[in-house]
Amino acid sequence: MAAKTIFQRIVDREIPATIEHEDDLCIVFRDIEPQAPVHLLLVPKQPIPRVAAATAKETQVLGHLLVVAGEVAAKLGLGQGFRLVINNGPHACESVPHLHVHLLAGRQMTWPPG
């Protein structure tokens, strides 16, 4: 069996995290190295490696992540806006092979991203 990713270990409560939301399908916690005043990671409990590895079977959980992003943003009062990012593969600087959505907020973002 493949080694657990660090995010799977957070899901399984083997390592600590500051958790903002949890339900049957996903967990949301604070990024350990925040790139904005609010930097959350939305992680499916099911360990899909990345978007490129997702299949139609994962449609519900992937859609769920976006709905939860909006709900958590509302809960945290992020009415000025937020940015969602998914890094897929080396050119995008993916570093943890367990699909996750970054939610960044609390400052003015710029475009294009780096």
Active centre residues (catalytic): 100
DSSP 17-33: --EEEE-SSEEEEE-SS
By CB under 6 A, residue 60 contacts ligand AMP: no
Q: Which of 1, 3, 90, 95 binds ligand AMP (CB under 6 A)?
A: 95
Cα 7–Cα 48–Cα 23 angle in degrees, nearest 5: 60
The least CB distance from residue 24 to ligand AMP, in Å, is: 21
Residue closer to ligand AMP, measured from CB, 46 or 87? 87
Give the separation between CA 77 and CA 91, rounded to whole angstroms. 33
User: Assign residue 58 a region: left if phi > 0, alpha if psi is -120 to 50, beta otherwise?
Assistant: alpha
By CB under 6 A, residue 94 contacts ligand AMP: yes
By CB under 6 A, residue 61 contacts ligand AMP: no
β-pair type (26-30, 19-22): antiparallel
Q: Total residues contacting ligand AMP (rule CB under 6 A)?
A: 11
Where along the sequence are the contacts to ligand AMP (CB under 6 A)?
6, 17, 31-33, 41, 87, 93-96
